[in-house]
Amino acid sequence: MSLLDKATGNFWIDNGLVMLHQVLRGGNLPEDVNSVVQRIVQRIYVETGKTAEYLDSQTQQIKTYKKRNWKEPIGLFISVVDQVPKQKVGDKEYYTRPPEPRIAIQPAGNQRCDFCGEKGKVVSAKLYLFPFVIDPNKFANFYSHARRGLKMCARCAVAGFAAFESWLWRRQGKTFHFFLFHTDLDRLHALHNSLIAQIQLSESTSGGNFEAPFFGEYPFENLFALLLRLFEWLHHREPEGELDPILAELTGACPVAGNPIVIYAISGIDSGKSFSMRALNQFDRFQPFYRLYKSWLEGLAGLSATPPHQALIQVFRQFQHRRQQSTETLWREQICRAILQQADPAPTVERFLYEVSTDTRKPAVYGTREVLHIYLREVMKMDEKLLNILSGFGYHLGSQAADKQEMGLLYALRNAKNLDQFMEVLNQIQFTLGLTINPELLRVEPGERIAGAPWNRVKTLLAIHAMNAYLRKQQGSTTTEGGEQ
């Protein structure tokens, strides 16, 4: 039986089966699974570039050996220690041989494997065979067996150990983000060859094993960054017709031909010696999100000299704030989360402009309005005409407020808590700044809607465009971002 013949349905073990299939070059798992374990050890237990000394017990000579360690961050999940005898020479103690990781799988008894369901000899799951078997209370549905300890057959155990080479990961300080794809085994195999292996760096950096356009300590911003990286890669190859069927499926050029492709995104903290999982999210909406990505690129093309993908990245990168020693990225996290969950990111953009941008005195970067509008139009189904009225009126409002030093009006607008208060502020704007309000904005409909949209979304967008124009004016910029009608 080929390793790819029978999936377990568990994303970790299935990724491991794909890795094993590669390690064994399509061959079958031999009877002696520990020979395969050793082959995997050789791949992931690597020289650190440092040396140390040991005492050769046969010759009684002190020799040098190259120190090795687990490739980062695999060591977080492996706590196997080698008890090497030591010997004293003078005042100093030496190992009597270089230490080696003693990983061995010794199945015994006759029980059902919790992953593939086969009955036979099993081992108890260890972190280095199944690293995410932690905190079962928090993820009870996901790991329903975790309380009594998981049993694994030899095939699933070796696969579990091989799976470390399949992930994409990022690190920010003590926080780690792991990404694993999942679908049917043959499709996962194809995806590994044509996408994951292409994105993975051959040498990981301290920040991770793929290039991310931005990063932070929260889960959704990192998942979003990974998707942008994947889409950038796919988009480059799409016009040349270089996409395999499995990749064409991600872009929507081919229909889904099997179980949908899912990304599991796991975030957690290095708590001293081990890993403490904080979040587990899934994403499978590749096709609609890729369509949105392409609309963004189209909307940003020609707006400035910056290539559209770069411009898009700058828009998302801006939602962070440096405080003392660290960079807070909570706003970006909330915006990315809203977009990935098809919710409204505008309230967070508003909060960022009023709480951070007023402090840094920086208006939103070029393209912010386009990215927000395209999203609101295509995903939230907002009327384009209304969007243009709001950005046009917001622009005049913000510019006038800057000229007349009326920032308080903008805060009053932002703080409007209900439709009545909002109408009152519009009235005040009319009076104080001498601006005529577009009648569309006064067209209140049943359900507290204005021109077809919820009143608070109208208020939020107006507040965003007004503050942005205010900051731009203050900055003395001559640009007209904000869109004069």
Q: How far apart are CA 185 and CA 403, in angstroms?
A: 63
Calculate the CA 14 to chain-centre distance: 21
Cβ-based nearer residue to Zn ion, 115 or 293: 115
Cβ-based nearer residue to Zn ion, 153 or 353: 153
The residue type of 404 is K
Q: Residue 1 CB, nearest distance to Zn ion (Å)?
A: 12
Q: How far apart are CA 291 and CA 392, in angstroms?
A: 27
Question: What 3-state DSSP class applies to 383?
Answer: coil
Q: For residue 279, which of 182, 210, 143, 178 has the smallest C-alpha distance?
A: 178
Q: Residue 152 CB, nearest distance to Zn ion (Å)?
A: 6
Cβ-based nearer residue to Zn ion, 116 or 212: 116
Burial of 216 (0-12, 13-18, 19+ CB in 10 A): buried
Q: Which residues contact residue 67 at a Cβ distance below 8 angstroms, ignoring those fewer than 6 apart?
A: 47, 48, 49, 50, 51, 52
Q: Residue 77 CB, nearest distance to Zn ion (Å)?
A: 19
Q: Are 175 and 268 in contact (CB under 8 A)?
A: yes
Binding interface with Zn ion (CB under 5 A):
113, 115-116, 153, 156
Cβ-based nearer residue to Zn ion, 113 or 410: 113
Cβ-based nearer residue to Zn ion, 159 or 453: 159
SS3 content of the chain, % helix, strand, coil (to 5): 45, 20, 35
Cβ-based nearer residue to Zn ion, 127 or 419: 127
Q: Residue 15 CB, nearest distance to Zn ion (Å)?
A: 14
Q: Residue 333 CB, nearest distance to Zn ion (Å)?
A: 37
Q: Are 63 and 56 in contact (CB under 8 A)?
A: yes
Residue 15 DSSP one-character state: H
Q: Residue 286 CB, nearest distance to Zn ion (Å)?
A: 29
Cβ-based nearer residue to Zn ion, 16 or 394: 16
Sign of the CA dihedral with 90 first, then 49, 44, and 210 last: positive
Cβ-based nearer residue to Zn ion, 115 or 393: 115
Q: How far apart are CA 71 and CA 88, in angstroms?
A: 31
Q: Residue 217 CB, nearest distance to Zn ion (Å)?
A: 35
Q: Residue 453 CB, nearest distance to Zn ion (Å)?
A: 53
